[in-house]
């Protein structure tokens, strides 16, 4: 797909304002993409309008930098767990008004998207490559939900406000829809099953 087409999709709006609530952590009707350890990028698709507004407000959070996949170690896994639990503990769950969906960082209350962008921000600040950190959309028991996915050589890991532990994508039970592209975080792609073919070399955290 040409960069012109990709830019068109990145500028398009998609409605995704609802978040799953605590206790909703699986989908009995998970798609094939939901049972894979790896979530590959498919065709370009619509980027959420709230994400485009977020990037206009926080351009430093939307840069395409670093490797597309990281080599996971015990230390880096512990870092993911600490960030996931820390953000989950600091932010109080509060739903957005559907007509005023906003993805925000450094808040004390918010919904799933606020948890996800905050975790991404904190991991980038710790030195994680932005290209390996992709916001991902899925259905949890039929309810739209946003999480942070981390691309590693052992599979895609999920940081979720509904779970204290970090789990591989295949263990969420979610029906995956789309997420940020590994090539450029500004663009979003359909999630498809299979091992991704990255253009960036895997980068060891420690």
Mean pLDDT of the chain: 84
29-63 confidence digits (pLDDT tens):
344 443 478 898 899 999 999 999 999 999 999 99
Model confidence at 192, pLDDT cuts 50, 70, 90, reads confident
Q: What is the mean pLDDT of residues 186-199?
A: 79
65-94 confidence digits (pLDDT tens):
999 999 999 999 999 999 999 999 999 999
**Considering its fold, how many domains does the chain have in total?**
1
Q: What is the mean pLDDT of residues 133-158?
A: 95
Q: Which of 38, 78, 41 is nearest to 169 (CA)?
A: 38
Q: Are strands 203-204 and 70-71 parallel, antiparallel or unpaired?
A: parallel
Coil, helix or strand for 12?
A: coil
Helix axes 74-90, 112-125, angle to 10 degrees: 140
CATH number assigned to the domain comprising residue 57 = 3.10.620
Give the model's pLDDT for residue 17: 55
Whether the pLDDT of residue 201 is over 60: the answer is no
φ/ψ of 101, rounded to 5, equals: -65, 130
Which domain range does residue 154 map to?
A: 3-204
pTM of the complete model: 0.84
């Amino acid at each position: 797909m040409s960069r012109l087409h990709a830019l068109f999709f990145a500028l398009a709006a998609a409605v995704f304002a609802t978040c799953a609530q605590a206790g909703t952590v699986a989908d009995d009707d998970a798609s094939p993409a939901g049972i894979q350890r790896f979530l590959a990028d498919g065709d370009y698709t619509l980027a959420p309008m709230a994400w485009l507004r977020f990037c206009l407000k926080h351009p430093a959070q939307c840069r395409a930098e670093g490797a597309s996949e990281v080599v996971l170690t015990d230390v880096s896994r512990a870092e993911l767990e600490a960030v996931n639990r820390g953000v989950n503990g600091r932010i109080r769950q509060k739903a957005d008004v559907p007509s005023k969906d906003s993805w925000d960082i450094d808040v004390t209350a918010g919904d799933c998207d606020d948890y996800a962008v905050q975790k991404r921000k904190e991991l980038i600040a710790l030195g994680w490559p932005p290209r390996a950190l992709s916001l991902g959309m899925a259905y949890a028991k039929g309810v739209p939900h946003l999480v942070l996915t981390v691309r590693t050589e052992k599979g895609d890991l999920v940081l979720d406000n509904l779970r204290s532990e970090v789990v591989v994508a295949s263990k969420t039970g979610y029906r995956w829809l789309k997420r940020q592209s590994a090539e450029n975080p500004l663009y979003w792609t359909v999630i498809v099953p299979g091992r991704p073919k990255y253009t960036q070399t895997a980068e060891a955290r420690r």
